[in-house]
Amino acid sequence: MLGGDDRQAQQPLVTAVPGGFPMSGRDITYHRFRFPADRDGGRADGLRAGPDGLTPDGDAGRVTHTDPHSGTTAEYAAGTWTSPVTPVGFAVTELVPSWTADTPPGCWLRVELRGWADGTATTGWYELGHWAADDSAVHRASVPGQEDDRARVAADTLRLTGATVTAWQVRVTLLRRLDAPADPVLRTVGVVASTDPATTADAGTADASTAKAGVGDTGAWGRVLDVPRYAQRLHASGETRWGGGGDSWCSPTCVSMVLDYWGAGPTPDRYAWVAPPGPRPQVVHAARHCYDHAFGGPGNWPFNTAYAATHGVDAFVTRLRSLAEAERFVAAGIPLIVSAAFTAGQVPGLDYDTRGHLMVLAGFTAEGDPVLNDPYAPDDERVRRTVPRAPFESAWQAGSGGIAYVLRPESTPLPPPPAQANW
């Protein structure tokens, strides 16, 4: 939805992403703001800096909001942080935001993006989500129906279709119902900007793909991280309220696996509401708390990382150029959640069709083939799969443009990024 005003047009630019162009023809950058440290780099209206992030202050405005999914109307205190204009150094085709925040009962946040070029806003503001950790204030949802001659919103992604965009700006509004007992807190917000995803032909061989992004970390070859194995299909005949049940729960199942790998999964009291508990109640809990009420499923990328971050881990969405980049994470002990699309037999070992499926990249064989925790299995024992490197890389890059969720405790360092930083 177009909206907002032009008061940010004179804000200073942040420093350009360092390092120039990547070794491949694929441009990807990721930039994140952390709070409270980066508060004054943008514009804060009605927000103050607390020890853990930004939160509404005494100057927060008042807004009335009606939840379109419940019809409930309430009055909220609202404060907004608008980022500086952030240049990327290339013509962007897609932007995907992600964030980490605390939203106690009665609180939620709204995330918006707009594009810039040559010092001028070239799009209006588009809403990329209304998010809350629970469903007591609003129904967590993307915002459909946003399309014009410049861009369109596809759930969690802003696709630039007509506008020239070489920089972006993000705006986050924190909202607290007037009778809520506690304030929301914004900890981080970031955006991955990219050019069009690689085609299947571009990503057709492992050697070519590795060369495009430079040498990875062969220390990851022969290393498989001990990620627990959870099968989403165990839930196929159980709870159906959040996307029809387990057959559509690949993303929250993967998030549950990686949270438990880090020992950060929800405690039993948080999912005690699940009744009957079924084979793994934390997966049902994750599906509910990742569910996008507009899209009708729990696969919204930033909703999944935001859910993960409510468990004390750092979490964000980015894009990687190849398995060579993914190797750096595995070598650092960090499993990735990746999104691929393929038909049965296109990736040997994956015998089903999917237009988009999330899996955990748990490691690599000694020969460099990916070792996956694929939740689309009939039972936990058959979740672990090894697949050939080249066709899997192609299905990942062509299917989602290399989307990856990164979840890790702050005590585990990220690997050094490439020159054109995408993490």
Q: Please check whether residues 118 and 189 belong to one and the same domain.
A: yes
Residue 421 lies in a domain: no
Q: Which of 194, 217, 243 delimits the end of a domain?
A: 194
Q: Which of 5-9, 17-21, 337-341, 397-401 has the lowest mean pLDDT?
A: 5-9
Q: What is the mean pLDDT of residues 326-350?
A: 98
Residue 16 lies in a domain: no
Q: Please check whether residues 301 and 250 belong to one and the same domain.
A: yes
Label residue 216 by pLDDT band (50, 70, 90).
confident
Q: What is the mean pLDDT of residues 160-172?
A: 98
Label residue 25 by pLDDT band (50, 70, 90).
low
The average confidence (pLDDT) of the chain is 90
Label residue 197 by pLDDT band (50, 70, 90).
low
Look at residue 59 in the predicted model and tell me its pLDDT. 84
Is the confidence at residue 21, as pLDDT, over 90? no
Contact (CB, 8 A) for 141 and 129: yes
Domain containing residue 96: 28-194
Q: Which of 268-282, 374-388, 406-420 has the lowest mean pLDDT?
A: 268-282
Contact (CB, 8 A) for 52 and 46: no
Q: Which of 194, 222, 244 delimits the end of a domain?
A: 194
Is the confidence at residue 327, as pLDDT, over 50? yes
Q: Which tokens belong to 401?
A: 């443009």
Contact (CB, 8 A) for 355 and 361: no
Q: Which tokens belong to 100?
A: 């980490």
Q: Which of 152, 172, 194 delimits the end of a domain?
A: 194
Q: Please check whether residues 171 and 214 belong to one and the same domain.
A: no
Q: How far is CA 198 from the centre of its chain?
A: 19
Residue 2 lies in a domain: no
pLDDT digits (tens, 9 = 90+) for 43-53: 999 999 999 99
Is the confidence at residue 214, as pLDDT, over 60? no
Q: Please check whether residues 88 and 187 belong to one and the same domain.
A: yes
Residue 5 lies in a domain: no
Q: Please check whether residues 127 and 147 belong to one and the same domain.
A: yes
Cα torsion 124, 125, 128, 133 to 10°: value is 180
Contact (CB, 8 A) for 76 and 63: yes
Indicate which CATH number applies to the domain containing 380: 3.90.70.10
Residue 20 lies in a domain: no
Q: How far, in Å, CA of 68 to CA of 71, rounded?
A: 5
Number of domains in the chain: 2
Q: Please check whether residues 184 and 332 belong to one and the same domain.
A: no
Phi–psi pair at 131, nearest 5 degrees? -125, 140
Q: Please check whether residues 85 and 118 belong to one and the same domain.
A: yes
Q: What is the mean pLDDT of residues 337-360?
A: 97
CA distances from 312 to 13, 287, 305, 315 (A): 31, 18, 11, 9
Look at residue 246 in the predicted model and tell me its pLDDT. 81
